[in-house]
Structure 1
């Protein structure tokens, strides 16, 4: 499947777009931060690892259900500064299932940017790409992440206690989801 909708996605304050080579410095600012990586499936990254990640992102050509997510970098419309990233995974083409993920630079948290970007992405996924269901996952300890999911109108569907060893400790996984018809009721 090619891109599921036209890019960039734009909101009043943000632009969600594909990665660019000049995003490396912005990615370094938060991807090297241990606190940011606390709940992510990787450790803080150095510049070489960021550049390797960028090669994969810049080589993106399709949105497929085999693990190749759509990486969207979020930039401030006013300044052009890249402040974070959102991912959309295709989990099952026939059942029209998707999953979102997100990371925001801590300097820009608490300003409503994550919710604004998520609404833009989920609107496009449901209204243009015609997904039936979108889910999101996070550690139960990551209250800001599941708090965003709840602000988006997603429902908690699962809470797996001590389901895996994550970074040396037992982790609890939360799964949230929302159906297309539920989203459209909230965002006609």
Structure 2
């Protein structure tokens, strides 16, 4: 488990199916990440089994649920990926609408980037976002990411903004 000042980040589990179903059916998820056809909690469990949990076994990392320490509420997800179309690890995040604007995405992403640098010994971390997701672009730039151009993901026809953040020499 990863901890920040206000959050716990723990590996997503099947008990999170209701939360994941809710998150993956928000308008922003559909707009910026895509409709994954999650129509029920059972679909959410199947998605975890098919798409998330294999990454843990093969790559050693997987999606994490961000949990607000004060309330115990699941506020969003933050994760590391090693996806086709992006060279090296990238960080991703999503929040339930009622928790947006509280700095949780930045706090979780910063913790996950540090985890990638310190646990997985990465020298550079990437992030991707679509052109319309100006909030995510601002957040990445606030964290020190710099746009490096565009990435082409195999399942998308649009170009996706590609950001990178290099580990500072003294951050080991």
Out of 92, 95, 113, the residue aligned to residue 104 of structure 2 is: 113
**In structure 2, what is the Cα distance between the partners aligned to 1:165 and 1:74?**
27
Residue 131 of structure 2 corresponds to which residue in structure 1? 140
Residue 151 of structure 1 corresponds to which residue in structure 2? 142
Unaligned runs of 5+ in 1: 1-7
Contact 1:34-1:44 within 8 A present in 2 as well: no
Alignment pair present for 1:86 and 2:78: yes
State the aligned residue count. 168
TM score, norm. by length of structure 2? 0.82
Residue 44 of structure 2 corresponds to which residue in structure 1? 50
Question: Which is higher, the Rg of structure 1 or of structure 2?
Answer: 1
**In structure 2, what is the Cα distance between the partners aligned to 1:121 and 1:183?**
18
**In structure 2, what is the Cα distance between the partners aligned to 1:129 and 1:181?**
15
Out of 28, 38, 44, the residue aligned to residue 21 of structure 2 is: 28
Contact 1:134-1:177 within 8 A present in 2 as well: yes
Deviations 1:27-56 (A, max 9, x none): 122212233211114345211321211334
Alpha-carbon shift at residue 91 of structure 1 (Å): 6.1
Identify the structure with the greater strand proportion.
1
Alpha-carbon shift at residue 183 of structure 1 (Å): 8.7
Return 14-23 or 149-158, whichever deviates more: 14-23
Deviations 1:68-119 (A, max 9, x none): 8521111111222111111212469xxx931111111111111000000011
